[in-house]
Structure 1
Amino acid sequence: MSTDAGPAGRQPQEPPHAVENLDHHECWRLLRSVSVGRLAVWVDDHPDIFPINYKVDHGTLVFRTAEGTKLQAATGDTPVAVETDGVDAEAGVAWSVVVKGQAAAVQNPEEVLDTVGLLLFPWQAGKKEHFVRITPDTVTGRRFKVAAPATWWTPLDDATRSGLE
């Protein structure tokens, strides 16, 4: 008879709030599985966030952009972060990966030709001639079970809703 079983012979389960820290390889696999993320940069005296679509290229992230705030802030001296995530609705599992590092404009002609070969097409119309490469200092990720609404509902939810009706 096993001593691992809980009440009524049930096996103990992980708590519903358990978070799995992802290893380096799983983070990169997940980064390759999606193409949209959020770029966090420092602009003047405050943080700002921009949506980007990107490609993974030899352990870096590459995105295209136009002249402007995003390009200037990303390629300055301050490190940047990119966060991307996903959810498997059927399995009820979500994940998030964060890349932190330094971004630099791709300027070497050979490297520009290589990045063009990534077939990285901006989603938003307009002239997006600048390629930016983010070289990570850290890549971290986590996966977790999505909580059922009944587990996070509070009486305040109904009070707020009735106040709006």
Structure 2
Amino acid sequence: MRTDNGDPSVLDELTRDECLRLLASVPVGRIVYTRRAMPAVELVNFALDGGDIVVRTDGSGKLAAATRGAVVAFEADTLDASQHRGWSVTAVGHSREVTDPADLARLRETGPRPWAPGEREHFIRITPGILTGRRLG
């Protein structure tokens, strides 16, 4: 929703649909969670699945353990510093381990492909309770 009378230097708030469309346009984002009572941020590749954010990771890793049933934040963006243009989307919601066999089989085929080496057969699903975004330029 534009409230700046066309001034390209002002931030525009994005609708939920715009946020989801922009999230679907990039392959990586940042998951923010609590690890040992401290904030932690990790860069992850992801995919959208029915409006949820899905991350594929190592089931025995720190990320999987720390996010199981937790409230997390997720952020993705693009930025063109030379043009002073870009966008940022933040999602906050509950994360949960994907355990349904049919869902796991489908996500192994259609979900995010692991970029990091090693076994990555664990999926974390984040359902955004809060989804906000802004666009500059």
**TM-score by shorter chain over 0.5:** yes
**Is the Cα contact below 8 Å between 2:57 and 2:123 reproduced in 1?**
yes
Q: Which has the higher strand share?
A: 2
Please report the RMSD computed on the Cα atoms of aligned residues, expressed in angstroms. Answer: 1.8
Q: Which has the higher helix share?
A: 1
Q: Which runs of 5+ in 2 are unaligned?
A: none
C-alpha deviation, 1:129, in angstroms: 1.4
Superposed CA offset, 1:44-95 (max 9, x none): 211100111000000101111112211111114x300110001356754110
Q: RCO (CA 8 Å, sep 6+): is it higher in 1 or 2? A: 2
CA distance in structure 2 between the aligned counterparts of 1:43 and 1:87, rounded to whole angstroms: 28
Counting aligned pairs with the same residue, the percent is 36
Question: Counterpart of 2:7?
Answer: 14
> Segments of 4+ in structure 1 off by > 2 A?
12-16, 87-92
Whichever of the two has the greater Rg, that structure is 1
Residue-pair matches, total:
132
Q: What's the TM-score, normalizing by structure 2?
A: 0.88
CA distance in structure 2 between the aligned counterparts of 1:84 and 1:13, rounded to whole angstroms: 25
CA distance in structure 1 between the aligned counterparts of 2:128 and 2:6, rounded to whole angstroms: 35
Which of 65, 68, 75 pairs up with 1:72? 65
Query: Does residue 99 of structure 1 match 2:73?
Result: no
The 5 A counterparts of 1:51-70 are: 51-66=43-58, 67-70=60-63
